[in-house]
Amino acid sequence: MKHFLQLVRAKNLVIILLTMIGVAFYLMKGNYYQKVDFHVIDYGLLIFSTMIIAAAGNVINDYFDVKADRINKPEKLILTRFMKPRWAILWHLTFNLIAFLIALYLSFKYSTLVFVFIHLISINLLWLYSVQLKRVLIISNLTIAFLTALVPLLSVFFFKVLNESDLPFSPYNQNSWSTNLNYSFIYFLAACAFIQNLAREINKDIHDVKGDLATHVTSLPIKIGKEKASFLTIFLIQLPLVLFIVSFYVFEWISVNKATMVLLLLSGAVNFASALIYLIKKDSTIVWINHLMKWSMFFGLICLFSNSI
């Protein structure tokens, strides 16, 4: 069980779970003055399907990464050491099939193709990433960043489908009632998630140069060098703080309470501090930058709960 949980990246799946619960909590609590339609079982199925698609992607990625992982991180190698590779194929197919059936059910029930469409995009992108896209310069990093940002947006689509009606309004027809929720803060966090994970993927490539060279992967650090890739990583992780300042102070696009403001500023401070440390001692910072980004993303995740209290 331990090795299976490592294979599917159980910690990442928990983050997906907390993110989607957090979005629902924020939208329900932050709009208490409106009637918000919500179906807990269907939303639970949506969360479950999203988690197992991510798990399937992690499994198949490890299947095609065995050679590189023997070089980059032999101590974390699961397939061939603790599990036969054919099990990875079986888990990948099973998880994706279950997720697709859930998407079919949700799309049929709510008369929309959005869930099938997004699930198919996610399944195919993760497959393409494992077999081809990871070898394409910057596209691999953008793919993972996009799929990460898609998680909170999928929750937004669920609430939109349940609450926003395109039927002519009638006070006598409950199906025509439309609740227009404010999703701006979720969009803001999705943009931050995209930027942070793009930086994190580039940072991971910096550590995986040896394995990438052995498997003919053209990563950004190989193309432009580790130092320039490190500077790009440091630059990218400063952007969420800039985005917050512009969104909150300049355009007043989002509204946050004091607790959330502290968390967002703390997240930005962690990223800014890493930049300062990098200028002083480059090598040690690159080793720890991944951990610093995890703390930064953790603060962002907590904002979903703090901003609705």
Nearest Cα neighbor of 149 from 196, 93, 205, 203 is 196
For residue 284, pLDDT beyond 70: no
Comparing 152 with 73, which gets the higher pLDDT?
152
Q: Calculate what percentage of the chain has a pLDDT beyond 70.
A: 83
Comparing 51 with 251, which gets the higher pLDDT?
51
pLDDT in the model for residue 283: 60
Last residue of a domain, one of 151, 179, 207: 179
Q: Are residues 218 and 298 in the same domain?
A: yes
For residue 176, pLDDT beyond 90: no
CB neighbours of residue 117 within 10 Å: 13
Count, residues in the chain: 309
Query: DSSP assignment, residue 79?
Result: B
The model's pTM is: 0.89
Q: What is the pLDDT of residues 46-104, one digit of tens each?
A: 999 999 999 999 888 877 766 666 666 656 666 666 667 777 888 899 999 999 999 99
Q: Are residues 161 and 192 in the same domain?
A: no
Q: How far apart are the first and last CA of the chain?
A: 37
Q: Are residues 48 and 159 in the same domain?
A: yes
Query: Cα 45 to the chain's mean position, in Å?
Result: 18
Last residue of a domain, one of 164, 179, 194: 179
Q: Are residues 172 and 196 in the same domain?
A: no
Q: Calculate what percentage of the chain has a pLDDT beyond 90.
A: 38
User: 5, 288 in Cβ contact below 8 A?
Assistant: no
Q: Are residues 162 and 189 in the same domain?
A: no
Amino acid at residue number 77: L
Q: Are residues 251 and 173 in the same domain?
A: no
For residue 17, pLDDT beyond 80: yes
pLDDT in the model for residue 270: 81
Read off φ and ψ for residue 170, nearest 5 degrees.
-145, 125
Q: Domain containing 132 — which CATH number?
A: 1.10.357.140
The backbone region for 153, taken as left when phi is positive above 0, alpha when psi lies in -120 to 50, beta otherwise, is alpha
Q: Are residues 147 and 43 in the same domain?
A: yes
Q: How confident is the model at residue 128 (pLDDT cuts 50, 70, 90)?
A: very high
Q: Domain containing 280 — which CATH number?
A: 1.20.120.1780
For residue 169, pLDDT beyond 70: no
**Count of domains forming the chain:** 2
Q: Are residues 147 and 224 in the same domain?
A: no
Q: Are residues 174 and 186 in the same domain?
A: no
Q: How confident is the model at residue 276 (pLDDT cuts 50, 70, 90)?
A: confident
Domain residue limits at 70: 1-179
Nearest Cα neighbor of 144 from 219, 240, 232 is 219
Mean pLDDT along residues 165-188: 76
Q: Are residues 283 and 175 in the same domain?
A: no
Read off φ and ψ for residue 263, nearest 5 degrees.
-65, -45
Mean pLDDT of the chain: 84
Q: Are residues 204 and 299 in the same domain?
A: yes
pLDDT in the model for residue 43: 98
Last residue of a domain, one of 179, 195, 227: 179
- Quickly tell me which residue has 């909150």 as its tokens: 248
Q: Are residues 150 and 4 in the same domain?
A: yes
Nearest Cα neighbor of 204 from 296, 68, 98 is 68
